[in-house]
Structure 1
Amino acid sequence: MATEMNSLSGENDGGEAAKDERPLLKSSSSSNGSGETLEQLEKKCAAYVRKDAYGTMGRGKLPISEKMLLGIAIVTLVPIRFVAGVLILLVYYLICRFCTLFSVPNRDDGQEDYAHMVGWRREVVVRCGRFSSRAMLFVFGFYWIRVDDRSLSTTEDEHGEQSDETERPGAIISNHVSYLDILYHMSSSFPSFVAKRSVARLPLVGLISKCLGCIYVQRESKASDFKGVSGAVTERVQEAHQNKHSPTMMLFPEGTTTNGDYLLPFKTGAFLAKAPVLPVILRYPYKRFSPAWDSISGMRHVLLLLCQFMNHIDVVRLPVYYPSEQEKEDAKLYANNVRKLMATEGGLVLSDIGLAEKRVYHAALNGNSLPRVLHQKDD
């Protein structure tokens, strides 16, 4: 489910850009068609460079011992995890189907969701959703999740009284490393996400996304009857900030995934609502295979992830960030200040590249001549 949500929501275009059937550039001194070597490009696109034992695109040379371990895992561990994952998804779908029976979905400007259900139905959907997401992470080998919750110190004011309910954050802001980020956030707070409109029509995942309260966006359409991404997100963030029964929005303002060591520039959509946000930092420590979805195809990533017996997530939940009056009037300033805070607290390196450079890097890895996007930007 998480793979579908993440790839179809447009949050991570990079994984699909790396097709295995095309040749990988083998020499760091090889030109990419514009006079720039792959080694130079990797230095420029350091946020997307894969550094684990499996090498670039997960296709590096492995010792015989590692190949034997992979072979054993493929015939033993992978089938068990695959079946368990499908069963978890199916059971949760049936729970969502039962809870939404005879319930009319919320419809607004082409949107359809069940996120605003109340009573036992909503309680069952949320509790089972959080449990199912955590169970899915367990299946993927994330047996323990280390959480450094620094937000607890802000739940009370200086007089020891609980903060006002209207000051709840309207959005959770997270760095983006993998499609696994979605599963963690679902298990932690069960928020709403942004997804392509086509996600709503997918088997199993479609109904689950409606129960999450996803914002469906048809990016290809310029018709006036569809809200823009920023407008829809702003409304939902404001609603979540003001109404405790409205699901919190979960946003990845970087717009794509990195190797986990860097933080890309933030898009301003999450900050236009002028509401406080909750910054969350995710790290995936590893020894052999990195769970980061950077420069590796989706299928290869899932397979190698399932083959690894144990995986790790480190989470840092920062205190709620309340924007100043100046930040409320300048969404770019607000976004930049939150980004700098997350980089400092999470030990992340700030990078000024984006999705365009990621596509250029992937094209080079696949042996294709580079698009002009990167060089036009440099000019």
Structure 2
Amino acid sequence: MIGKLRTFSAVALFVLVTPFLALAQLLALRGLFSPDIIPRLWHRLILKCLGLKVRVRGSLSDKRPLLVASNHISWADIMVLGAKADVRFIAKAEVAGWPGMGTIARLNRTVFVEREQKRKSGEQASEIAQRLIGGDALVLFPEGTTADGNFLLPFKSTLFGAAKLALDAGAETVYIQPVVLAYTRLHGLPLGRYRRLFLSWTGDIGLLPSLLEILSQRAMDAELHFEEPVAFASNSSRKEVAREVESSIRKKFRVIIQHPESSR
């Protein structure tokens, strides 16, 4: 009963507040004020609705152009990153068609990428490069999909091509900042392997069941670690940089889930 009441109150808060924030963001995108303010407020609202507390270590780098590379566990990763840093996201094109969420993603100035349609790749590449050079910190999930919360999937070095695009567009150096995200506790108790698996969002779990599960709990902790950025220049090897970033994230992730207290 308590879980149902928590879910109802969280959904009611989301439904009441989101339209007003969406309208404010539309006005911001038309130049009335900074378009960076509302998305962060909205992501913070979602964290409040979810009852998700985030412990942050480090901060988003002030170096630009900046590409943020994070491991990927759940749809909630977007909310965690968006609430704690002024970032924008690179997402697969199908997200744009999701009811409600697609509109919110567009208002957050998400870059949508259609990996299967090569004829659009040039236009999308140009947008990513210009956004990076323009100062936007873009988040990339180099695993390419969500993992199960216990392990990281191999990184796809091809996805780091976004950094090369910015170099081709005139940037001297692009900085790639590794970011590590882990869900660590539920109701104050450390998450075990099974609970981390259940709270992740893999391909076998629908978005709605995953959302309802987290809403019914509303007492989850996460850790978000910003590591030192890696410089990517014209003479850098994309594969070597990808391996360096992956190694940094993988080592820190292992420490967090095995010994969450020692990572603080």
- For the aligned pair, the TM-score class normalised by the smaller chain equals 0.7 to 0.9
The reply to whether residue 126 of structure 1 matches residue 56 of structure 2 is no
The structure richer in strand per residue is 2
Gap change, CA 1:200 and 1:293, over 3 Å in 2: closer
Give the secondary-structure state (helix, strand or coil) at the position aligned to 2:36.
helix
The reply to whether residue 243 of structure 1 matches residue 153 of structure 2 is no
8 Å contact from structure 1 (residues 193, 251) kept in 2: yes
8 Å contact from structure 2 (residues 54, 80) kept in 1: no
Aligned residue for 2:167?
Answer: none
Aligned residue for 1:367?
Answer: none
In the aligned structure 2, how far is the partner of 1:316 from the partner of 1:293? 20
Aligned residue for 1:172?
Answer: 68
Give the secondary-structure state (helix, strand or coil) at the position aligned to 1:323.
strand
CA displacement, residues 49-76 of structure 1 (integer Å, 9 cap, x when unaligned): xxxxxxxxxxxxxxxxxxxxxx4412x1
Letter aligned with residue 90 of structure 1: P
The reply to whether residue 278 of structure 1 matches residue 177 of structure 2 is yes
Aligned residue for 2:24?
Answer: 95
Aligned residue for 2:3?
Answer: 73
In the aligned structure 2, how far is the partner of 1:183 from the partner of 1:151? 15
If the length of structure 2 is used for normalisation, what is the TM-score? 0.76
The reply to whether residue 334 of structure 1 matches residue 256 of structure 2 is no
In the aligned structure 1, how far is the partner of 2:94 from the partner of 2:207? 19
Aligned residue for 2:217?
Answer: 308
8 Å contact from structure 2 (residues 60, 85) kept in 1: no
Aligned residue for 1:135?
Answer: 45
Aligned residue for 2:106?
Answer: 210
Aligned residue for 2:260?
Answer: none
Aligned residue for 2:148?
Answer: 259
8 Å contact from structure 1 (residues 170, 238) kept in 2: no
- Superposed displacement of residue 187, structure 1: 1.5
Structure 1 unaligned runs (5+)? 1-70, 104-118, 156-166, 350-379
CA displacement, residues 118-153 of structure 1 (integer Å, 9 cap, x when unaligned): x643x1x311210111111111011x311111777x
In the aligned structure 2, how far is the partner of 1:254 from the partner of 1:334? 15
Task: Work out the percentage of aligned pairs sharing the same amino acid.
Answer: 25
The reply to whether residue 299 of structure 1 matches residue 190 of structure 2 is no
8 Å contact from structure 1 (residues 148, 317) kept in 2: yes
CA displacement, residues 187-230 of structure 1 (integer Å, 9 cap, x when unaligned): 123423233546546665444333322223344545x3x126xx
In the aligned structure 2, how far is the partner of 1:203 from the partner of 1:298? 12
Letter aligned with residue 3 of structure 2: A
Letter aligned with residue 36 of structure 2: V
In the aligned structure 2, how far is the partner of 1:129 from the partner of 1:339? 28
Give the secondary-structure state (helix, strand or coil) at the position aligned to 1:319.
coil
In the aligned structure 1, how far is the partner of 2:210 from the partner of 2:98? 22
Larger Rg: 1
If the length of structure 1 is used for normalisation, what is the TM-score? 0.55
CA displacement, residues 302-342 of structure 1 (integer Å, 9 cap, x when unaligned): 1111110311111111011113765x2x2122111110111
- Superposed displacement of residue 96, structure 1: 2.0
Structure 2 unaligned runs (5+)? 165-173, 257-264
Aligned residue for 1:346?
Answer: 253
8 Å contact from structure 1 (residues 170, 240) kept in 2: no
Gap change, CA 1:215 and 1:169, over 3 Å in 2: same
- Counterparts of 1:354-369 in structure 2, within 5 Å, are none
Gap change, CA 1:86 and 1:133, over 3 Å in 2: same
Deviates more, 1:308-317 or 1:205-214: 205-214
Give the secondary-structure state (helix, strand or coil) at the position aligned to 2:223.
strand
In the aligned structure 1, how far is the partner of 2:91 from the partner of 2:20? 22
CA RMSD of aligned residues (A): 2.9
Aligned length: 236
CA displacement, residues 143-185 of structure 1 (integer Å, 9 cap, x when unaligned): x311111777xx7xxxxxxxxxxx4242111000110111112
